[in-house]
A and B are shown apart, each in its own frame.
Chain A
Amino acid sequence: MRLLVNKIFLVLSVLSAMIGLAFLAWILITLFIKGLGSFHFKLFLNDLIDGGLRNLIVGQFILAGLAAFIGIPLGMAAGIYIQEYGRGKYANLIRDLSDIMMSAPSIVIGAFVYAVIVVPTGGTSGFAGAIALAIMMIPVVINTTDNMLSLVPRELREAGIALGASKYRVILDIVIKAAKVGIMTGILLAFARIIGETAPLLFTSETSNYFSLDLTESFPSLTVSIYDLANEPEESSRDLAWAASFILTLLVLVINLTGRFFTRNKD
């Protein structure tokens, strides 16, 4: 009897794993079929106004790139503070707050940036969108920096100090270098996450049908446009939304897997 229960349980567990994988496969296959179905090279040559995705893809990269440009140094510096300089209560408080921010609703961040940037500056802008993405990225970078630095053995730091290096030299030359691979992976995963975000951009940078490098205006976004296109009645819009979804997912998964590839080598 016990063995029967055991067997049933094991079967259920394997079944759950298969369900999980099935969902993944279902989504990927759907994207593949619908996406490839509407795929043609003009997508990369035309902007949305001409039925292509060029401006959206470039725009999304620019937004995420700018967010990373702002978020990575700030996140790493804060992570360094918590792990290397922090002294008890304040450092722990920041660590906890950052952890909480990691799971905070992205649309609320969008509303926040709307109120503090879009309203005073009189309109949506690429800057606002990038900042919203940066706010989302910072806690993730803090978390990964903090964790990776904590794995570096303390003797390594002491050895640097014992040679007469000042603390910041030890951190930059030795500790960060030792944690380099883990931090890079964490940053890549964070980048993959924000490049797929929609909600924070909805009312901060919106999107645009035209190719634009002007961050002071509404800025083209792949994710926001997918939402718009999916809501349009025309079949062609829907098809374009699928093609865009396919490209977006491909992008996110490639960046994600690249990040994991780095740490795999270390083992």
Chain B
Amino acid sequence: MEKIFQKLSLASATLVFVILLGIFFTLFNSSKLAIDEFGFDFITNPDWNKEVVIDSSSIIENESDEIIDEDEILFDEDDEEAETSTIYGGLVPIVGTLLTTLIALTFALPIAMGIAVFLAEIAPQNISHVVGVAIELLAAIPSIIFGMWGLYYFAPIVADIVGGYQVSLLTAGLVLGVMILPFMAAITRDSMNTTPGVLKESAYALGATKFEVIKDIIFPYSRTGIIGSIILALGRALGETMAVAFLIGSIFVLPTAINSPTISIPVAMANNFGEASGVGESALFYLALILFIISFAVISIAKFYFLKKAN
């Protein structure tokens, strides 16, 4: 019985390993078609789902770098259908993913730090507890709800202030920021709370103000934890789908300004997976692979370099 129990628990633990490897493998496998076809150029090519003519010397009109209507058929000199193939390039969603995350981080960072300071050092015990729970409830709200609220209430206000479209890089980034806010605040607060009381007391005893104690003692002490929380929040923001799907605009166009609509990797996947097939589907998997690798790397860095827990 003991042996059975031991083996079962080992098997369950190994399952985690297997699933992770499985994800890597599967993504790689499913994107092979796209990788073979487009290689690393995929990362720098902004054209998604664009038909290009293979043999450009024999077409009559249309340059090969114009976006061609799907139903339009090209004819060459001999009036035969020109051979076209569809190319996919992931630059736009990759850029969109990175930029929305950057905006989210910039927006959320000061507010999250402020909240963490409030919870850890300023608020009395009972208020800190209640506000802390409220912040954690904010974190518990499903992302699709953020999408709904963001689209119909938050984005119009932002668009009024900044001008431009309601669905854009900016609005998506800001709502994403509200989403990662509680997460960053909670981990930062926990990091700050690891500062030994005696250290703080020595500083106060020297006549330091609260601001000085936070700036000179607590922040440096918990610096690695704070940076870790930021990077971890970044890792989470990269993979966020639903809220961004409502707000980013979902078009494969590089943003020309901060308030132009564009697309991110998760949104590209969410919108196109249903109808995609062949190379198109493989290209989506390629995007997924890229996202997975980036997330994995970012989260690992946060975990292993900054958030070492003494277990």
Chain A interface residues (CB < 8 Å from chain B): 2-3, 5-6, 9-10, 12-17, 19-21, 23-24, 26-27, 30-31, 34, 73-75, 77-78, 80-82, 84-86, 91, 93-101, 103-109, 111-112, 114-116, 135, 138-139, 142, 150, 166-168, 171, 189, 192-193, 196-199, 202-203, 223, 226-227, 230, 241-242, 245, 248-249, 252-253, 256-257, 260
Contacts and interface: CB of A to CB of B under 8 A. Distances in A.
22 contacts: A9-B210, A13-B115, A16-B115, A17-B119, A20-B131, A20-B185, A23-B138, A34-B152, A74-B15, A85-B6, A100-B299, A104-B292, A104-B296, A112-B23, A114-B273, A138-B16, A139-B16, A199-B266, A245-B145, A253-B137, A256-B136, A256-B140
Interface string B135-153: 1111011111111110111
A98 B285 contact: no
A150 B240 CA distance: 31
B242 interface: yes
Contacts of B5: 168, 171
B120 to A, nearest CB: 10
B134 interface: yes
Given A3-B209, A104-B299, A105-B240, 8 more contacts: A10-B122, A10-B210, A17-B114, A105-B239, A108-B288, A138-B19, A223-B242, A227-B242
Contact of B9 (A16, A85, A106, A230): A85
B142 A241 contact: no
Q: Which of B113, B114, B235 has the most CB of A within 10 A?
A: B114
B248 interface: no
Interface string B177-211: 01001100100000000000000000000000111
Contacts of B122: 10, 13-14
Contact of A109 (B16, B23, B140): B23
A78 B13 contact: yes
A108 B131 contact: no
B168 interface: no
Nearest to B307: A99
Contacts of A30: 149, 152-153
B171 to A, nearest CB: 14
Contacts of A202: 270, 273-274
A252 B142 contact: yes
Contacts of A106: 239, 241
A109 B285 CA distance: 11
Contacts of B274: 202-203
Contacts of A198: 142-144, 241-242
How many interface residues does chain B have, given as a range?
A: 35 or more
A104 B12 CA distance: 19
B303 interface: yes
Q: List 6 A-B pairs, minimum CB-CB distance, nearest first.
A: A105-B239, A16-B114, A196-B142, A77-B12, A81-B9, A168-B5
Contacts of A196: 140-145
A108 B291 contact: yes
Contact of A248 (B138, B145, B284, B295): B145
A24 to B, nearest CB: 5
Nearest to A189: B140
B10 A85 contact: yes
Given A31-B149, A196-B144, A226-B144, A142 B291 contact: no
B111 interface: yes
A193 B140 contact: yes
Nearest to A12: B114
Contacts of A109: 23
Contacts of A101: 16, 19-20
A230 B269 contact: no
Contact of A81 (B10, B153, B182, B296): B10
A23 B144 contact: no
Nearest to B233: A103
